Structure 1
């Protein structure tokens, strides 16, 4: 099982080895932000920057996607790109990949990890409780998010996670995290974000609505879901 973190790339280079132009083109700088931050809020009823990114991506004309076998055959004369893909595809059984050129990413679960408490594993899609909340958090508590997902058919390039949160109709957070580029494999990947702290105080408590998306560089949305959660003074 591969377990990259927000401080690690999905493709590793040997010590002292310089990344090629092809690698630089496909790798992305990683970033992270608080999932439940209440800083920087603004009056906005939609995704804002996410929608802008989607519109920009719609104006880019991309070439046809090719199956892995075709890619390797076409790249055989480009030594730098060939080596990069061979390294990325190390351990991939090409006989089981098939001819489907479209990468398929299935988000299996999102886990909320909090010190001194059992991990809260949320299956996809989220199942709300009787009050309609997908989960409940205590204010001023430390947590990390962990994603579990599988990749099949082809390499997924530039997979990114976005999360937008609103409180009483006001957007209070818009997170974007570049997860990286992943090759197809049977075992699921896990990816952990850096530890954050939920906001504290009476004004931070209450009901929140959120929208989570996983999108790749080709603009394909592998998951989009809206849900509600709450922040309380104490754990439920």
Structure 2
């Protein structure tokens, strides 16, 4: 993972540049809230012709964040070629992706969503490359109070993608109970390889009032508000694991 825009300028400090190149998760997940605890809405932009269905329902992931100036993969490979150390570092991040395999379609292909929970009796994975209407009917189950993470698996096919974000809006009985926006980061293409983003550890709500089924609308977008995928899924909080 790398912030593509950070290597587009001349190096003032190699150490500083490397720190910027690494990137980091800039938004932490939040537990479910009751309706009166949800934050005020902060509208986000929409891509021309393809609006993000969740844009107006989400807080700003990183206040004051400004997207970097876009650069092609070729341009980044050609930057600072006289700096041997940086060239090696760029290769470790970018690889030799200029000849990467292209499956066609969008530059970013979202493949799976997985709920990670050490105490779950079985894997919980959504295949996002198939029928999204079938995905909408799938319901994950979590025992109240357990710790869990969300993992998004995806491929970057051709060019570096800058500022990927994972958005989700959670509702129960038609009432919004949580909105979250996670800064995933910027990534270069990896030939034939999936890349992953995992949220920080979160805790499922507990108590009688928290039990029930939640509807979740998710989307995966970038700094330019290109929507690579949006999908619906459900999560049920129970007193104990089924079975």
Do Structure 1 and Structure 2 share a fold, with TM-score over 0.5? Answer: yes
Q: 1:209 to 1:218 in 2, by over 3 A?
A: same
What is aligned with 1:136? 141
Q: For the residues of structure 1 that align with 2:209 and 2:181, how far apart are their CA atoms?
A: 25
- CA positional deviation for 1:220: 0.5
What is aligned with 2:123? 119
What is aligned with 2:9? none
What is aligned with 1:38? 32
May I ask how many residue pairs the two structures share in their alignment? 207
Q: For the residues of structure 1 that align with 2:14 and 2:71, how far apart are their CA atoms?
A: 29
* Secondary structure at the counterpart of residue 127 of structure 1: helix
2:15 is equivalent to residue 18 of structure 1: yes
What is aligned with 2:58? none
The 5 Å alignment of 1:1-236 reads 10-11=1-2, 17-20=14-17, 24=20, 27=23, 30-34=26-30, 37-39=31-33, 41-42=35-36, 48-49=41-42, 52-54=43-45, 67-69=72-74, 72=77, 75=79, 86=91, 88-89=93-94, 91-96=95-100, 104-116=107-119, 117-124=121-128, 125=132, 127=134, 132-185=137-190, 186-236=192-242
Q: Would you say the 8 A contact 2:2–2:21 is kept in 1?
A: no
Q: For the residues of structure 2 that align with 1:197 and 1:170, how far apart are their CA atoms?
A: 21
* Secondary structure at the counterpart of residue 45 of structure 2: helix
Q: 1:209 to 1:48 in 2, by over 3 A?
A: farther
Structure 1 unaligned regions, length at least 5: 1-9
Cα-to-partner distance string for 1:52-72 (whole Å, 9 max, x where unaligned): 1125999xxx99967533564
Structure 2 unaligned regions, length at least 5: 4-12, 52-66
Q: For the residues of structure 2 that align with 1:154 and 1:63, how far apart are their CA atoms?
A: 15
Q: For the residues of structure 1 that align with 2:37 and 2:197, how far apart are their CA atoms?
A: 32
Cα-to-partner distance string for 1:199-220 (whole Å, 9 max, x where unaligned): 0111111121111011111110
* Secondary structure at the counterpart of residue 233 of structure 2: strand
Alignment RMSD (CA, Å): 3.9
Q: For the residues of structure 2 that align with 1:11 and 1:69, how far apart are their CA atoms?
A: 15
What TM-score results when the alignment is normalised by the length of structure 1? 0.70
- CA positional deviation for 1:126: 7.1
Q: 1:153 to 1:128 in 2, by over 3 A?
A: closer
What is aligned with 1:7? none
Q: 1:215 to 1:93 in 2, by over 3 A?
A: closer
* Secondary structure at the counterpart of residue 134 of structure 2: coil
Q: Would you say the 8 A contact 1:39–1:173 is kept in 2?
A: yes
